[in-house]
Amino acid sequence: MTSNEIKALTGQYIMNTYGRFPVAIDHGQGATLYDPEGNAYIDFTSGIGVTDLGYGYQPWVDAITAQAQKLGHVSNLFYTEPPALLAETLCKRTGESCVFFANGGGEANEGMIKLARKYSFDKYGKGRATIITLNNSFHGRTITTLMATGQEVFHNYFFPFTEGFRYADANDLTSLEAAAGDDVCAVMMELVQGEGGVLPLDVEYVQAVKKICEEKDWLLLADEVQTGVGRTGTLFAFQQYDILPDVVSFAKGIAGGLPMSGIMANEKCRNVLGPGTHATTFGANPVCAAAGLVVQETLSEAFLEEVKAKGEYLRQGIEALDLPCFGKTRGMGLMIGIEVKDGYNKSEIANKLIENGLLVLTAGPGMRLLPPLVITKEEMDKGLAIMEKTLR
Ligand SMILES: *Cc1c(COP(=O)(O)O)cnc(C)c1O
């Protein structure tokens, strides 16, 4: 089909819930995508932080193929090898103790919220179920995670929402203290706010929150759906904050492009979600887990150092262009935000770049770049050249 045929068919038969860019994608190689007409696009989006190994990565294709030939699904009523191996790797590399696998970020966060509330219920009974989250956060699109999201625009249309969330300002301990109370059981945060605009939390703040959580027996819940799996230059962002959260959610990049998510919990939380308390039919799918194992094998410590170096290179490259529409860059690893100056429109900038062969994202008030972690220097240079040509 041609791009126009795909767009027309989509318009007719798929619910119009997405504001799409006017591009159809057919295939990809490395960090370059192609439309059905063969036009190339440098990808600074990774399918919103998902395709960390880029496109056509042979070990990933081979592992999925081999596992699909053996067994595609059997449910969690039985044991399978790939998710057990993936859970082992995640625990050994992070210091967490156990994993629950699910399918998407919002669903993982639901599990994390359930775990926090049940931890408190088991120990203290009812009435201690409130979770403090941060203003400007994003935690998902389910009725509960919309309410966990600390942005008013998401608290609309779908009433009634789940109760039991209170919001504090990021990097502000006074605001956290103001939100505290006898009804609180946990604090939930993204270590780098992604959808909110690529805003990293301060190390001192996060460590102080961890300490408060320990004192009050609140659980510290890290939403690493976007920051996890190498995106920030360590396997998980919390490793750069020198803390071990009680529970960590992950999703986007975990299986390199197949739908998979999960939560990891420390020893204290191991038995909170016992048999019958939580489940999901597709969770721990062996094909997704086999893909996840390739991601883990690829993301060696040396590879993660490269991610940091590439992030630095790209940020310096953007700042050196000194484009009229862009201000400072910020972020960690290959999770990069670019300030858009007053008088310029982030969506217009994104559309112009895409027209010229560079896929980018927006977030909060500015631009957001999440290139595949395997992106090459040549591809980054091509992307920078397109920025220069388009936005000068
Ligand atoms: C993307 C995202 C989610 C939601 O993940 P889905 O897979 O879309 O449900 C939750 N939290 C954060 C931090 C995210 O970036």
Beta bridge partners of 219: 186
- What is the arithmetic mean of pLDDT over 158-174? 98
pLDDT in tens, 168-198: 999 999 999 999 999 999 999 999 999 999 9
Strand-pair category, 192-193 with 199-200 = antiparallel
The CA distance from 207 to 223, in Å, is 16
Beta bridge partners of 256: 258
337 Cβ below 6 A of ligand 1: no
Confidence of residue 140 (pLDDT cuts 50, 70, 90): very high
The residue whose CA has the least distance to atom 11 of ligand 1 is 139
pLDDT in tens, 375-390: 999 999 999 999 999 9
CA of 372 to the centre of ligand 1 (A): 17
pLDDT in tens, 58-97: 999 999 999 999 999 999 999 999 999 999 999 999 999 9
Residues 6+ apart with CB under 8 A from 267: 97
Confidence of residue 360 (pLDDT cuts 50, 70, 90): very high
CA of 94 to the centre of ligand 1 (A): 21
226 Cβ below 6 A of ligand 1: yes
Confidence of residue 155 (pLDDT cuts 50, 70, 90): very high
Of ligand 1's listed atoms, the one at least distance from the Cα of 226 is 15
Of ligand 1's listed atoms, the one at least distance from the Cα of 193 is 13
CA of 105 to the centre of ligand 1 (A): 4
Angle between helices 81-94 and 286-298 (to 10 degrees): 40
231 Cβ below 6 A of ligand 1: no
Query: What mean pLDDT is reported for the chain?
Result: 98
The CA distance from 235 to 95, in Å, is 12
Q: In the structure encoding, which two tokens stand for residue 331, read together?
A: 């972020």
pLDDT in tens, 270-298: 999 999 999 999 999 999 999 999 999 99
CA of 361 to the centre of ligand 1 (A): 15
pLDDT in tens, 86-126: 999 999 999 999 999 999 999 999 999 999 999 999 999 99
pLDDT in tens, 16-44: 999 999 999 999 999 999 999 999 999 99
Of ligand 1's listed atoms, the one at least distance from the Cα of 106 is 9
194 Cβ below 6 A of ligand 1: yes
The CA distance from 127 to 290, in Å, is 41
Q: In the structure encoding, which two tokens stand for residue 231, read together?
A: 């995106």
Contacts 24+ apart (CB under 8 A), 340-348: 340/365, 340/366, 340/367
Q: Integer distance in angstroms from the first to the last C-alpha of the chain? A: 35
DSSP, res 242 = T
CA of 141 to the centre of ligand 1 (A): 8
The CA distance from 3 to 1, in Å, is 7
**Neighbouring C-alpha atoms within 13 Å toward the C-beta of 121:** 11
Q: What percent of the chain has pLDDT over 70?
A: 100
Query: In Å, what is the CA distance from 312 to each residue of 107, 195, 279, 341, 346?
Result: 33, 21, 41, 21, 22
Based on its alpha-carbon atoms, the radius of gyration of the chain, rounded to whole angstroms, reads 21
Q: Which of 302, 309, 311, 366 is nearest to 335 (CA)?
A: 311
**Could you tell me the pTM of the whole model?**
0.98
- Residue 273 pLDDT: 98
SS3 of residue 204 by DSSP: helix
225 Cβ below 6 A of ligand 1: yes
Q: Tokens 């860059």 — which residue? A: 329
Q: In the structure encoding, which two tokens stand for residue 382, read together?
A: 């091509």
The CA distance from 34 to 390, in Å, is 19
The residue whose CA has the least distance to atom 5 of ligand 1 is 105
CA of 392 to the centre of ligand 1 (A): 33
- What is the arithmetic mean of pLDDT over 350-357? 98
- Residue type, position 265, single letter: A
- Residue 256 pLDDT: 98
- Residue 384 pLDDT: 98
- Residue 25 pLDDT: 98
- Residue 331 pLDDT: 97
Beta bridge partners of 106: none
- Residue 352 pLDDT: 98
105 Cβ below 6 A of ligand 1: yes
- Residue 372 pLDDT: 98
- Residue 225 pLDDT: 98
